[in-house]
Chain A
Amino acid sequence: GNSVTQMEGPVTLSEEAFLTINCTYTATGYPSLFWYVQYPGEGLQLLLKATKADDKGSNKGFEATYRKETTSFHLEKGSVQVSDSAVYFCALRTRTGNQFYFGTGTSLTVIP
């Protein structure tokens, strides 16, 4: 079946620290992969995406590379800011059936 597994939180980092949030997936076929961010009290927002193997999605200093060989899509940022505090969701969309699967979310808190 299809599923997304991401690292458990919560994650607490100091400002300017390096961030990695691990995400691995199981899917039939070749899904599209996404990272969404949810700020407190708001809905999810698309952060970045990758639609095929070796694609790198990037936005606001965040990056993730679609690795087919390891079925992973880890989120990274070189220097986090307090404003990055949020819950991050890894997700996939299947090519057939247009089904969406989300990870359980990783809460990130960045302290000054």
Chain B
Amino acid sequence: DSGVTQTPKHLITATGQRVTLRCSPRSGDLSVYWYQQSLDQGLQFLIQYYNGEERAKGNILERFSAQQFPDLHSELNLSSLELGDSALYFCASSELPDSYEQYFGPGTRLTVT
């Protein structure tokens, strides 16, 4: 158990809908990362937050947005969902923004039908 929690574990929704994925980092970690893992694209870095501020941005679509709240939990919002958004979404956390070690949560499996 990495100490990173993600909810929900599974999510099934229809195309065009909007969903919110939630992540709570390990106690003491200030930085949160979001990743998308799909069969055809592999593991893609989406975005990183540190202490509430956006720190780095990867291959995040405009339909997706994220934020980190004062209590350090983070949410990833996915809107206008498409079939291709079906994937495992991982959250990871680290103590500092440049820490080498990230601790990954168990993931949220999103299925868009």
Contacts from A to B (Cβ < 8 Å): 32, 34, 41-46, 49, 51, 89, 91, 93, 97-105
Residue from B4, B58, B107 within 8 A of A100 (CB atoms) = B58
Q: Report the minimum CB–CB distance from A7 to chain B (whole Å).
A: 13
Closest to B40 in A: A104
The complex places the Cα of A98 from the Cα of B90 at a distance, in Å, of 18
The complex places the Cα of A100 from the Cα of B92 at a distance, in Å, of 12
Given A43-B104, A44-B102, A98-B56; 14 other pairs, CB 8 A cutoff: A41-B106, A42-B106, A43-B4, A43-B90, A43-B92, A44-B43, A45-B104, A46-B100, A46-B102, A99-B45, A100-B33, A101-B45, A102-B35, A102-B43
Contacts from B to A (Cβ < 8 Å): 2, 4, 33, 35, 42-45, 48, 55-56, 58, 90, 92, 97-98, 100-102, 104-107
Do the beta carbons of B100 and A49 come within 8 Å of each other? yes
Main secondary structure of the interface of A (DSSP, over half): strand
Closest to B105 in A: A43
Q: Which residues of B contact A43 (CB under 8 A)?
A: 2, 4, 90, 92, 104-107
Closest to A91 in B: B43
Q: Given A44-B104, A46-B101, is A102 in contact with B90 using a C-beta cutoff of 8 Å?
A: no
Closest to B101 in A: A46
